[in-house]
Amino acid sequence: MRGAFLRLSEFDPAWTNRLIGELDAEAQRFAQAGGPGLELEREIKAYMRYQGQGWEIVVPLPNREFVDGDAVEMRRRFEDEYRRLFGRALDDLDIEIMTWSVQVRSRLDEPQAVSPVETEKALAGDETRRIFDAREQRFVDATVYHRDELVAGDRIDGPAVIIERETSTIVTSRYRAVRQPDGCLLLTRKEQDHD
């Protein structure tokens, strides 16, 4: 983001393209540092207001080089967004751009659906830990499992604690956890509980 004042009545496409180019280069360097060679997407926004207003609204701009007639397009986009937010646009007022934003991000692949496991295998453990079960309002002995040792289909009936380096998953008495093919834990209520 960069604060750079421009009135639409004085729109200068060359100045605008230089500014967007500088912001884009900075954003590209930052995004590439996190994942060299990734395909990137760019989004350009402007923080715009009617002349003299004390606050701006965010307006998405075209993701391309700007040309002489783009002041009209920017006004249309601003007024559409202003109408959406406040019900109507104002006539005969110049529009000011206070801040420019270029966001560059890597493209994310569409997540693939994960089919739930077909068969489950109940696990038994020998290590326990005392945990407080808020629903039961008492301490219970919970079996301890190590998440990195679980394979798809492993079922853990609560009360249990599934530990890993960064966190622990508490499975209360009314629930069970099943490790899914993608590594997630699916927690479901045990069938015998209906409340």
Residue 132, SS3? strand
Query: Residue 26: which residues within 8 A CB-CB, separation 6 or more?
Result: 102
Owner of token pair 């508490």: 170
- Please give the average per-residue pLDDT across 163-184, as a whole number: 93
For strands 168-171 and 138-146, give the pairing: unpaired
37-94: pLDDT as tens digits: 778 889 999 999 999 899 999 999 999 999 999 999 999 999 999 999 999 999 889 9
Residue 193, SS3? coil
Instruction: Domain ranges for the chain, please list them.
Output: 2-106, 121-189
**Burial grade of 127 (CB within 10 A; 0-12, 13-18, 19 or more):** exposed
84-122: pLDDT as tens digits: 999 999 988 999 999 999 999 887 778 888 788 888 888
Q: What local confidence, expressed as pLDDT, does residue 33 receive?
A: 81
Tokens of 35: 């994942």
- Please give the average per-residue pLDDT across 167-191, as a whole number: 92
How far apart, in whole angstroms, are the C-alpha atoms of residue 170 and residue 135? 13
For strands 128-133 and 175-179, give the pairing: unpaired
> Contact, 16 vs 69, CB < 8 A?
no
**What pTM did the predictor assign?**
0.58
How far apart, in whole angstroms, are the C-alpha atoms of residue 62 and residue 7? 18
- Please give the average per-residue pLDDT across 145-150, as a whole number: 94
Query: Is the pLDDT confidence value at 195 over 80?
Result: no
Q: What local confidence, expressed as pLDDT, does residue 192 receive?
A: 62
Residue 35, SS3? coil
Q: What local confidence, expressed as pLDDT, does residue 193 receive?
A: 47
